[in-house]
Structure 1
Amino acid sequence: MVLCFRPLRPRCDPQFNLVCDDSWKVDLFQSCVNVGFFLGSLGIGYIADRFGRKVCLLATTLISAILGVLTAVAPDYTSLLLFRLGQGLVSKGSWTAGYTLITEFVGLGYRRTVAILYQVAFTVGLVLLSGLAYAVPHWRWLQLAVSLPTFLLLLCYWFVPESPRWLLSQKRNTQAVKIMDHIAQKNGKLPPPDLKMLSLEEDVTEKLSPSFAGLFRTPHLRKHTFILMYLW
């Protein structure tokens, strides 16, 4: 009996054929995402401070979903890199805006728990992704499978309010009081007695304007800014 063996070849899209001498393009593809993460982290925070956490979250989510679909139908490698770079730019911003939004809804005693639960969703998603990749082996269909459901997150527009802390920083006290009063009712608690006084205050003080220099304004902020820069 004669056994015939065929050489093993990596499974890849024959349209791009990213193997052998072109295998470095696979690493470049992932590097574009990381570059997008870095640049997005620098700029999206300003947008969230300037226009609001909710607006930033919804806008970056929409753009990320659209770019995810475009990545799945990319006709060439250059387009693939550009779409992936753009997705990296906004996806990190979407994560940051969501993280800031949920932690500003709760008090100091609950922020750590809320932040951990927010990160758990990322870990669970990675675990589920391996099973989904087994069921949908072709990368284009897999990309669509993880991109199309992202559009459902736009429903948050009707269910998730703006951050009351951000509204207060922008001197939009009436809106902030309305949201906090609604949260207190849902929690079955009475709103703080001084809450209604906020809505009576005139918008006479200057609004807080975000800037990169604000990260170094106080010694406490400087310390945490340098720590986070070193860790990243």
Structure 2
Amino acid sequence: MEEVVGLLKDEAQCDTMPLEWMKSAANITINLTADALLRVSIPVGPNQKPEQCRRFRQTQWQLLDSNLPAMNNTELETEPCLDGWTYDQSVFTSTIVTETISIAGNLLGTVNGILSDRFGRKPLLVICFLVYGILGICYAFAPIFSLYCILRFLMSACVSAIYSKSIVLLLEGTSSKWHPAFVTATGLSWSAGLELLGVLTYAIRDWHMLQLALALPFFTIALFTCWISELVHWLVTTGKTECALGELQKIG
């Protein structure tokens, strides 16, 4: 069935394989090629290419008979794409649209340095963890694609801020001789996280539940971050000397 689901030769056409239809017609379509299924399901437009916004209301099996004379598609009843669209991923598994959303979000996240210099590293990090958790829950249940893209954009901005602020907290709070080790450990931790993501994805096959599993731990991390002391270096440079002394006494 993978060949059938990935049947498209153009950018996108109506999804012609809703689950219940596949179950009821599996004995018919199992041996169909992708081109044949496309022919009986999607009308041909004026440019002699499959329509992207219409599909046949009923599967036109007679179109598979090469002995029949050519039929005018306008005589056959059609309907809009009621079950969404299927995209051709035979060449590109992702597109510039999906990649650009994340990259643009990462770019937005780079402005967090200005905010952290004004309000502190710790508060901004806690807020980013909480916001990511909230956005992640909304992302898992996004009802429309435009909202999905907006949430993905904002989540990428939070990830960028979390990554940069975590490194800043480590580097500003330790001696310079430990900086190479901490930067290396940070990079390795992200790589290990991607490996664990693969394991988690294998265990949780529903992407809604997977997204929830990724978002909910951020609330616990935010709570843990609340117990981290603000950097003495930032407190001194912003004139909060009493707070800096208090943090030094805690350390001592």
- Normalised by the length of structure 2, the TM-score is 0.63
Secondary structure, aligned partner of 1:117: helix
**Residue of structure 2 equivalent to 1:58:** 126
Q: In structure 2, how many angstroms separate the alpha carbons of the residues matched to 1:81 and 1:103?
A: 33
For the 8 Å contact 2:133–2:215, the answer to whether it is kept is yes
**In the alignment, is residue 9 of structure 1 matched against residue 5 of structure 2?**
yes
- Normalised by the length of structure 1, the TM-score is 0.68
Distance 1:81 1:46, change over 3 A: same
**Residue of structure 1 equivalent to 2:109:** 40
For the 8 Å contact 1:53–1:97, the answer to whether it is kept is yes
Question: Superposition RMSD on alpha carbons, in Å?
Answer: 2.5
Shift of 1:50: 0.7
Distance 1:136 1:108, change over 3 A: same
Q: Which amino acid aligns with 1:33?
A: S
Distance 1:66 1:78, change over 3 A: same
**In the alignment, is residue 29 of structure 1 matched against residue 25 of structure 2?**
no
Distance 1:64 1:18, change over 3 A: farther
Shift of 1:17: 4.2
Between structures 1 and 2, the one with greater strand share: 2
Unaligned 5+ segments in structure 2 are: 7-14, 19-82
**In the alignment, is residue 133 of structure 1 matched against residue 129 of structure 2?**
no
Distance 1:79 1:72, change over 3 A: same
Shift of 1:7: 3.2
Q: In structure 2, how many angstroms separate the alpha carbons of the residues matched to 1:137 and 1:113?
A: 36
For the 8 Å contact 2:137–2:212, the answer to whether it is kept is yes
Counterparts of residues 142-157 of structure 1 (less than 5 Å): 142-157=210-225
For the 8 Å contact 2:122–2:226, the answer to whether it is kept is no
Between structures 1 and 2, the one with greater helix share: 1
Unaligned 5+ segments in structure 1 are: 186-232
2:187 to 119, 134, 138: 119
- Give aligned-pair identity as a percent: 24
Cα distance per residue 1:88-107 (max 9 Å; x no partner): 12220121112111211111
Q: In structure 2, how many angstroms separate the alpha carbons of the residues matched to 1:26 and 1:79?
A: 19
Shift of 1:149: 0.9
For the 8 Å contact 1:104–1:163, the answer to whether it is kept is yes
Q: Which amino acid aligns with 2:231?
A: S
For the 8 Å contact 2:173–2:231, the answer to whether it is kept is yes
Query: Taking CA–CA contacts closer than 8 Å with sequence separation of 6 or more, which of the two structures ends up with the larger relative contact order?
Result: 1
Q: In structure 2, how many angstroms separate the alpha carbons of the residues matched to 1:108 and 1:160?
A: 20
